[in-house]
């Protein structure tokens, strides 16, 4: 028969074994919990990476309506490159003259006639000055890059389509550009007609490039964007000219003013906090 001392020692050993098992179970629970947490973090991080890299083309540059109910104004000063990129060149010149088509599409945001598409020149340049509430933005339109686009832009400018309209969108991160050409200010307005893309191999974008906004292939209208900084875009947007150094300084000032974030949930960016209104457009060399 066991003595009291033996029974106490046996009870003590039993208790120690129970405590050890409890400690081991607690340790396993902690390890499992940490593993689950790490797994969740990895999944979330993966989703963030996927969402931030979806698509190679820019919904940013495409014309589209604002979709944010909770605008997030930008306050951070953009890091704006100072080096402008070289203007692109077509590897093979286009026939001169060429023919363009401007089929009707929707209602015009302002009354305007489509341009003639016959005997459109594909050589030479046209000097255009956008006179704005923030200063002049001189442009050089290049017919050899996009004759049908230049033909349309000049026609709209001479008919006063752009006068008294404001640039409705600026993006300061990722794609850095100012988008204009919609009299409605919504991002969905156009001239009541469309025309085909004028793209070519090797097309790139960057500071100083003037290009057409679109909402898909061959949906060009009146909206255009002026790149003042970085432009990680697929070659889906027609380049039809360049922006002068003086014009880039005006756009830089607007960019540093930030935006109201109204397009962040859809195309990106927002309405400029510094209003850019076209008070007039002059055309030389057309």
> Domain of 65: which CATH number?
2.40.100.10
Q: Which of 47-61, 130-144, 187-201, 249-263 has the lowest mean pLDDT?
A: 47-61
273 and 176 part of one domain: yes
33 and 122 part of one domain: no
The answer to whether residue 22 scores a pLDDT higher than 60 is yes
46 and 61 part of one domain: no
Q: How confident is the model at residue 266 (pLDDT cuts 50, 70, 90)?
A: confident
Q: What is the value of pTM for the model shown?
A: 0.77
At residue 41, the pLDDT reads 40
The answer to whether residue 275 scores a pLDDT higher than 80 is yes
Cα separation, 178 vs 278, whole angstroms: 13
Domain boundary among 11, 36, 54: 54
Pairing of strands 169-171, 135-142: unpaired
Sheet (strand 169-171) strand order = 169-171, 177-180, 224-227, 209-212, 239-243, 135-142, 125-132, 278-284
Q: Which of 71-80, 147-156, 205-214, 232-241 has the lowest mean pLDDT?
A: 71-80
State mean pLDDT over 62-87.
66
Cα separation, 227 vs 215, whole angstroms: 18
At residue 282, the pLDDT reads 97
136 and 164 part of one domain: yes
The answer to whether residue 109 scores a pLDDT higher than 60 is yes
Is 123:97 a contact under the CB 8 Å cutoff? no
The answer to whether residue 220 scores a pLDDT higher than 50 is yes
204 and 216 part of one domain: yes
At residue 285, the pLDDT reads 82
Cα separation, 176 vs 154, whole angstroms: 25
46 and 70 part of one domain: no
Give how many domains the chain has, as a whole number. 2
44 and 86 part of one domain: no
84 and 200 part of one domain: yes
144 and 286 part of one domain: yes
At residue 141, the pLDDT reads 98
Residue 123 in tokens: 């050589």
Cβ-based neighbours of 43, under 8 Å, separated by 6 or more: none
The answer to whether residue 23 scores a pLDDT higher than 80 is no
**Adjacent-strand bridge partners of 177:** 171, 227
For residue 29, the enclosing domain spans 1-54
80 and 29 part of one domain: no
Of the candidates 149, 171, 153, the one whose C-alpha atom is nearest the C-alpha of residue 161 is 153
40 and 178 part of one domain: no
102 and 27 part of one domain: no
């Amino acid at each position: 028969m066991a003595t009291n001392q033996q029974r106490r020692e046996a009870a003590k050993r039993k208790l120690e074994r129970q405590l050890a098992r409890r400690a081991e179970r607690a340790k396993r629970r902690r390890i499992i919990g940490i593993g689950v947490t790490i797994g969740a973090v990895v999944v979330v991080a993966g989703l963030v990476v996927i969402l931030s890299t979806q698509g190679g083309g820019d919904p940013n540059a495409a014309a589209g309506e604002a979709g944010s109910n909770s605008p997030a104004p930008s306050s951070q000063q953009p890091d704006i490159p100072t080096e402008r990129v070289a203007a692109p060149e077509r590897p093979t010149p286009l026939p001169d003259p060429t023919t363009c088509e401007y089929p009707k599409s929707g209602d015009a945001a302002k009354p305007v006639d489509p341009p003639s598409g016959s005997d459109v020149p594909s050589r030479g340049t046209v000097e255009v000055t956008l006179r704005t509430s923030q200063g002049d933005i001189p442009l050089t339109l290049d017919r050899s890059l996009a004759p049908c686009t230049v033909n349309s832009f000049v026609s709209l400018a001479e008919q006063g389509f752009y006068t008294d309209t404001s640039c409705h969108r600026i993006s300061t991160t990722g794609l850095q550009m100012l988008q204009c050409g919609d009299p409605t200010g919504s991002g969905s307005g156009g001239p009541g007609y469309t025309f085909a893309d004028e793209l070519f191999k090797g097309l790139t974008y960057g500071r100083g490039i003037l290009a057409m906004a679109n909402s898909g292939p061959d949906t060009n209208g009146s909206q255009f964007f002026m790149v003042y900084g970085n432009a990680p875009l697929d070659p889906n947007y027609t380049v039809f000219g360049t922006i002068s150094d003086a014009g880039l300084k005006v756009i830089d000032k607007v960019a540093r003013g930030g935006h109201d974030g109204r397009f962040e949930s859809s195309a990106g960016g927002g309405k400029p906090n510094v209003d850019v209104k076209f008070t007039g457009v002059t055309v030389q060399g057309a």
